[in-house]
């Protein structure tokens, strides 16, 4: 958001090297370095994450083992109690107490590992978002700079006369005129084709005794009839 505003201010200010103005104010190299650092941090965090997740899984297995062991000793303690051997049951209870302390320690450790995994994941997510944001900003600055430089060259090219900038409406008129010429040419060629094929049709009709020839015969006959009528009168 902040970045957009700065870019707008630079573009609205115009005139100067737009991109460079923003590049300077933003310290593009620092940005790029930040992106590099962030990528490194993510690499390290991901490798840390693998380590912590492994420890988390180890703690999980250890907890499972301890719980089984405790259950086993509990069964044994109950057996001793059933046999009325209080002293043996007491020894087993002590062993169970030791195992329970170890279990609590493993559970606490597992909890910490899990929390660590979550925080590293969150950190990686945030760093990715930061990289994406910086990369987008740098891309905007570089595009602005690139387009500005390209526009400068294009303007020089146009003003240089090799492709003079013509008013838009005039350009459109010229282009439409040329397109009209082209379509007139095509229409003329179509007409010509039609005429040629028409002629050949005329020829075919003539050959079949239809049209001009038969009409002439009729005209001659009428003329003769008219003459006969005249002489009769």
Residues near other proteins (CB under 8 A) are: 14, 139, 142-143, 145-155, 157-158, 163, 165-172, 174-175, 178-179, 182
Pick between residue 6 and residue 149 the one whose CB is nearest to other proteins: 149
Instruction: Compute the least distance from the CB of residue 143 to other proteins, in Å.
Output: 5
Instruction: Compute the least distance from the CB of residue 139 to other proteins, in Å.
Output: 4
The Cα–Cα gap between 72 and 77 comes to 9
Rg of the chain over Cα atoms, rounded to whole angstroms, equals 49
The gap between the terminal CA atoms of the chain, to the nearest Å, is: 110
Pick between residue 108 and residue 172 the one whose CB is nearest to other proteins: 172
Pick between residue 171 and residue 219 the one whose CB is nearest to other proteins: 171
Pick between residue 116 and residue 142 the one whose CB is nearest to other proteins: 142
Q: Which residues contact 140 (CB under 8 A, 6 or more apart)?
A: 3, 7
The Cα–Cα gap between 52 and 41 comes to 16
User: Scanning the structure block, which residue is given the tokens 């049951």?
Assistant: 89
Instruction: Compute the least distance from the CB of residue 55 to other proteins, in Å.
Output: 40
Instruction: Compute the least distance from the CB of residue 38 to other proteins, in Å.
Output: 18
Instruction: Compute the least distance from the CB of residue 42 to other proteins, in Å.
Output: 21
Instruction: Compute the least distance from the CB of residue 150 to other proteins, in Å.
Output: 4
Element (H, E) at 93: helix 86-159
**Among candidates 193, 191, 213, 194, which has minimal Cα distance to 204?**
213
The Cα–Cα gap between 6 and 20 comes to 12
Pick between residue 61 and residue 157 the one whose CB is nearest to other proteins: 157
Pick between residue 6 and residue 148 the one whose CB is nearest to other proteins: 148
One DSSP character per residue, 146-215 reads HHHHHHHHHHHHHHTTTT----HHHHHHHHHHHHHHHHHHHHHHHHHHHHHHHHHHHHHHHHTT-SHHHH
């Amino acid at each position: 958001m902040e970045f957009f505003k700065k870019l707008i201010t630079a573009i609205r200010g115009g005139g100067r090297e737009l991109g460079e103005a923003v590049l300077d104010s933003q310290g593009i190299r620092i940005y790029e370095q930040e992106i590099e650092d962030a990528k490194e941090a993510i690499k390290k965090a991901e490798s840390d994450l693998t380590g912590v997740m492994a420890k988390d899984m180890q703690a999980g297995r250890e907890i499972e083992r301890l719980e089984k062991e405790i259950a086993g000793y509990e069964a044994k303690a109950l057996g001793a109690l059933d046999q009325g051997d209080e002293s043996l049951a007491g020894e087993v209870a002590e062993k169970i107490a030791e195992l329970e302390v170890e279990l609590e320690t493993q559970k606490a450790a597992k909890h910490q590992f899990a929390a660590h995994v979550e925080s590293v994941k969150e950190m990686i997510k945030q760093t990715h978002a930061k990289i994406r944001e910086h990369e987008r900003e740098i891309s905007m600055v570089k595009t602005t700079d690139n387009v500005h430089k390209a526009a400068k060259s294009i303007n020089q090219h146009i003003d240089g006369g090799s492709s003079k900038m013509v008013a838009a409406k005039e350009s459109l008129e010229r282009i439409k005129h040329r397109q009209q010429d082209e379509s007139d040419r095509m229409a003329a060629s179509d007409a010509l084709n039609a005429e040629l094929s028409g002629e050949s049709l005329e020829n075919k009709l003539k050959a079949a005794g239809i049209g001009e020839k038969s009409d002439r015969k009729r005209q001659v006959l009428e003329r003769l009839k008219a003459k006969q009528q005249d002489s009769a009168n």
